[in-house]
Amino acid sequence: MGLDRFSFLNSIDIDYIDELHQRYLVDKRLVEPTWRSFFDGYEFSKFNYQEVDQIPTNVLKEFMVINLINAYRSRGHLFTKTNPVRERRKYQPTLEIKNFGLDQEDLLTVFQASEQVGLEPCSLNDIIIHLEATYCESIGIEYQYIRHPERVEWIRKNIELKNRPQFSKDQKKHILHKLNQATVFEQFLQKKFVGQKRFSIEGAESLIPALDVLIENGSNLGLKEFVVGMAHRGRLNVLANIFNKTYDKIFSEFEGKEYDDEVLFDGDVKYHLGITSEVMTDSGNNVKITLSPNPSHLEAVDPVVEGITRSKIDHELGGDEKKILPILIHGDAAIAGQGVVYEVIQMAQLKGYRTGGSLHIVINNQVGFTTNYLDARSSTYCTDIAKLLYVQYFMLMVMMLKRLFKLSTLLLDIDKNIQEMFSLIYCATENMAIMRAMNQNSPNLNFTK
């Protein structure tokens, strides 16, 4: 309503106003009182609110620092130390301060922009140290493309402020114990059954303590059952050290069996077999864990595991998706190359197929059977297909075990705090990646580089 009083100004002659203004400048009495008041206001605004020709340098620098912070959040994952075997590819532009209008003299300058990453006002050098430790060390995270601001903010707070794992002495001992189990098992097989095909987990032994901590923490959050699907690599080690399949049964399969009509015989090689076990966690929780048989074809087990999980939800768990978690373990080449992965992802949000969230682990052994990754895919990461559902993901060097278990805990916390949340971890020693497609009210799937 207020603007309507001045609508006549839209059709007035500009030259006429300029002529009146020139008269006013000569002598105010030469224009009638209403125009005199109008020009009084105009001159007052010019004198008291003159346009600033240049933004103060210190203010401009603050915005440059904010641009640097946002660049670490969106591109820091490209410069992480996640591969212990070889240097990562080079990406441009880098995160050097000169690319953001800053120089060496600014490193000791204190900036208020540090509050954006949870720090008190501090020097640019301290801000960069914090950002490097958060986004460019052994953990990398890509999440800025997610469409839900509240999810982005939750992840940012839990990464920028809490990306510093702390473990008790007992926790460290337990991690070492599970790692020793995985290592000694492979060493024994290598010495006892020389030359036999076993698809060793060597180079990705951290898969064992990772699965252990996920089952432990998951049971504490109310999960009663886990359904696991995986290809051949590492299956024997998982059977022994996670599912508690006895050593004598595993070793007898190396020796071979004679066919017997009277004895139930599964008729498949040892690294295709499945199992169902009931185990008690260190916290005293009883959980049921199932490893689905996988007679080759790698990713073909994905929809089988999701189907088993959905069936249990419908017929055994009263529709409660929070009591069961599917875990899919992939190879880096297979997850990027097999079409069934895309098909399963597209079922994730469908009412008839959802499972309430899945956790995905990708073991990256640097070479997809015989092919270098540069010749095997066009995407930056082998798990980029997970972006189909706007999944944020973490990348992790598995040699940094404490960080792996910190993120494993975070993934389960995501499920508890954010509905329909998906997340991913990428790890490397031979390289392993964990990806968690989490959501409480809608389903599943996701993966890694």
Between CA 127 and CA 148 the distance in angstroms is 26
Q: Which residues contact 428 (CB under 8 A, 6 or more apart)?
A: 82, 83, 84, 85, 364, 395, 396, 397, 398, 399
pLDDT at residue 443 in the model: 34
Longest dimension (CA), the chain: 120
Domain 60-137 shares a fold with domain 169-256+267-438: no
Q: Is 410 left (phi over 0), alpha (psi -120 to 50) or beta?
A: alpha
Mean pLDDT over residues 196-205, rounded? 79
Q: Are 361 and 210 in contact (CB under 8 A)?
A: yes
Placement of tokens 């899945």 in the chain = 358
- Is the pTM higher than 0.85? The answer reads no
pLDDT at residue 265 in the model: 53
Q: Look up residue 78 and give its DSSP letter.
A: G
Show the tokens assigned to 246.
């006895």
For residue 287, list its beta bridge partners.
279
Mean pLDDT over residues 377-401, rounded? 70
If one compares 363 and 62, the residue with the highest pLDDT of the two is 62
Between CA 151 and CA 160 the distance in angstroms is 14
Grouping H, G, I as helix, E, B as strand and the rest as coil, residue 359 is strand
Instruction: Measure CA of the first residue to CA of the last residue in the chain; give whole Å.
Output: 58
pLDDT tops 60 at residue 413: no
Each residue of 202-220: pLDDT tens digit? Answer: 888 888 988 998 898 889 8
Show the tokens assigned to 244.
């508690």
pLDDT at residue 227 in the model: 95
Show the tokens assigned to 100.
């953001």
Between CA 315 and CA 324 the distance in angstroms is 13
Grouping H, G, I as helix, E, B as strand and the rest as coil, residue 362 is strand
pLDDT at residue 62 in the model: 94
Each residue of 163-185: pLDDT tens digit? Answer: 666 778 888 888 889 989 999 99
Q: What are the extents of the domains in the chain?
A: 3-44, 60-137, 169-256+267-438
Grouping H, G, I as helix, E, B as strand and the rest as coil, residue 381 is coil
Could you say which architecture CATH assigns to the domain 169-256+267-438? Answer: 3-Layer(aba) Sandwich (3.40)
Show the tokens assigned to 65.
């620092």
Each residue of 112-134: pLDDT tens digit? Answer: 999 989 899 999 999 999 999 88
pLDDT at residue 50 in the model: 59
pLDDT tops 60 at residue 446: no
Average pLDDT, the chain: 79
List, in sequence order, the alpha helices (H) in 101-165: 124-135, 149-160
- Cα radius of gyration (the chain): 30
Each residue of 299-343: pLDDT tens digit? Answer: 999 999 999 999 999 999 999 888 998 998 888 888 888 889 889
- Residue 345 Cα distances to 325, 387, 437, angstroms: 16, 10, 10
The answer regarding whether domain 60-137 maps to CATH 1.10.287.1150 reads yes
The band of 42, judged by pLDDT with boundaries at 50, 70 and 90, is confident
pLDDT at residue 442 in the model: 33
